[in-house]
Amino acid sequence: MPPPTDSERRKAKDATLRTQDDVIAEHLAQALRSGELASAPSFGKPMPEAEGWHETPAEFRLPFKILKNAGVVPPEIELFHKRARLYAELAACACDATRAVLQRRSSEIEQAIALRLEGMRSSGKL
């Protein structure tokens, strides 16, 4: 009998490796058997929908969720946060010189947001 080829060895090795899904399924089955899952307050109930899920275009939902789970704010959202902070600073500003600087920065952020959104629209992503 000839020795196994590289391809056959890889197939045999792959067959023995467990996938991440298998490991997760095993842990869930163990938690279900032990009663740990049944004691959770949300057991058997639908998961709550994330805020803004339906308002987010479908092609952005998964990438945004991955970024959110990783603790990273998408660049577009960060621009919206910067704009909100600038508007709050403008509303509280009494100095004309500082107000002019804040208005210029606000205008720059508005342009950046508009360019991002236009790029998304023209590429068909929004």
**CB-side exposure of 81: number of CA atoms within 13 Å?**
6
Q: What span, in angstroms and rounded, lies between the C-alpha atoms of 46 and 53?
A: 15
Q: How far, in Å, CA of 110 to CA of 116, rounded?
A: 10
Determine the pLDDT at residue 63. Answer: 84
Q: What span, in angstroms and rounded, lies between the C-alpha atoms of 118 and 33? A: 52
pLDDT at 18: 67
Written as tens digits, the pLDDT of the chain (126 aa) is: 677 788 888 877 776 666 778 888 899 899 989 988 888 888 888 888 877 778 877 887 888 888 888 998 888 888 889 999 999 999 998 889 999 999 999 999 999 989 988 887 887 666
Q: Which residues contact 82 (CB under 8 A, 6 or more apart)?
A: 109
